[in-house]
C-alpha cells in the first residue's frame, strides 16, 4: 500500500471521507515531492507520457467530457483508488475541468451535488469550475443515469 498525499501539499483536496486527491494544471511544472500513483487527465488531446499509471478522458477546454459515461467510470476509479493511492486529477490550467472533476469526486464522497462546487471552491481553488455547463454537469452528476 502506498502513502497518500501530504494534506498540506499544493493542490491537495481532502474529501469528507478523508480521501486526498491532488488537482493541478499540466501547464505548470510538476510539484516537488511525491509523484502520483494514478492520474486522471482531462484534455482535448492525448496527454504527454508519464511514468505513472494514468487514464485520459477526452474533455475539451471549457466544455464537458466527450463521453460522459466513460468520464463517470474514470471518476469512480479515481475516487476508489484515492483510498490507498496518490491520485492526481489534472487538465491544462487546473481549474475548470479539474475543478469539475473534483466536484464530481466530492459528490461520490457524499457531498450533495448542489453543494459540491462550493465545497471544491472552498477547499481547492476559489476559481474552480469555470462555466455554467460545468456547474450543471456537477449538479446533475448525482442524479445522472451515467453516475456509477
pLDDT per position as a tens digit, 130-143:
999 999 999 998 76
* pLDDT above 80 (res 109): yes
Q: What is the CATH number of domain 12-141?
A: 3.90.190.10
* pLDDT above 50 (res 40): yes
Nearest 5°: phi and psi at 133? -70, -30
Name the β-bridge partners of 57: 42
The residue ranges of every structural domain in the chain are: 12-141
Residue 133 CB neighbours (<10 A): 11
Amino acid at each position: 500500500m502506498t502513502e497518500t498525499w501530504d494534506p498540506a501539499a499544493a493542490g491537495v483536496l481532502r474529501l469528507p471521507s478523508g480521501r486526498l486527491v491532488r488537482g493541478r494544471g499540466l501547464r505548470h511544472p510538476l510539484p516537488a515531492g511525491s509523484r502520483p500513483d494514478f492520474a486522471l487527465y482531462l484534455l482535448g488531446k492525448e496527454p504527454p507520457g508519464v511514468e505513472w499509471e494514468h487514464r485520459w478522458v477526452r474533455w475539451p477546454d471549457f466544455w464537458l467530457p466527450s463521453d460522459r459515461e466513460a468520464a463517470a467510470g474514470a471518476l469512480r476509479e479515481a475516487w476508489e483508488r484515492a483510498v490507498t493511492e496518490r491520485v492526481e486529477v489534472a487538465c491544462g490550467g487546473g481549474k475548470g475541468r479539474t475543478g469539475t472533476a473534483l466536484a464530481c469526486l466530492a459528490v461520490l464522497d457524499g457531498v450533495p451535488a448542489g453543494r459540491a462546487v462550493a465545497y471544491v471552491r472552498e477547499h481547492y481553488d476559489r476559481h474552480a469550475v469555470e462555466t455554467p455547463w460545468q456547474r450543471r454537469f456537477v449538479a446533475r452528476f448525482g442524479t445522472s443515469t451515467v453516475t456509477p
